[in-house]
A = this chain, B = another copy of it.
């Protein structure tokens, strides 16, 4: 039964291709299908056999990014402990997906039109709910809206991913930089 093996190999390769594409497109968002194929170590023909076209590839990356984010949200256990700790865990869990997120964040074509993936709305809602929980518990200041804090989290993740990729900051500081800057702003300061 080569059929089973066939499916297995396809799945593995598809995963590898998506990873390679994400890594390349994060650095050069205008990379051609040929460059994507070369980066994955396959031919352009095979790339087209796995993804109907560039659009399908980007959509698959979008689904992968959403899935990774949701997995990170689950792993971060946003409902446990203080909101501050939950945010810190979330940043930690999102670190591996930061590069992919940074790419998707700039693909604004994904968000025009009605066919936009509802996964983003789910993610936004869960993250915003976390910030709202922190506000309700008195941990976070209330003059910064959950929507803005969610946007800022995305933006800081993307900024850090690019800064690390270009060597302007150290990769090991990723979590500390984002969590400290974001929480320092979102956390209500003790009255002196």
| Interface set of A (CB-CB < 8 Å, partner B) | 27-30, 106, 108-109, 111-112, 141, 143-145, 147-149, 151-152, 154-156, 158-160, 162-163, 166, 168-169, 173, 176-177, 180-187, 189-190, 192
Contacts and interface: CB of A to CB of B under 8 A. Distances in A.
Contact of A181 (B112, B144, B158, B176): B144
A27 to B, nearest CB: 7
Contact of A189 (B108, B148, B190): B190
Contacts of A106: 29, 106
Contact of A109 (B30, B169, B183, B190): B30
Nearest to A154: B159
A174 B140 CA distance: 19
Give this chain's copy count: 2
Contact of A108 (B29, B169, B173, B187): B29
A189 B184 contact: yes
Contact of A184 (B145, B162, B168, B187): B187
A155 to B, nearest CB: 3
A159 B155 contact: yes
B190 A190 contact: yes
Contact of A185 (B108, B145, B163, B182): B182
A27 B148 contact: no
A109 to B, nearest CB: 7
Given A152-B156, A182-B185, A166 B111 contact: yes
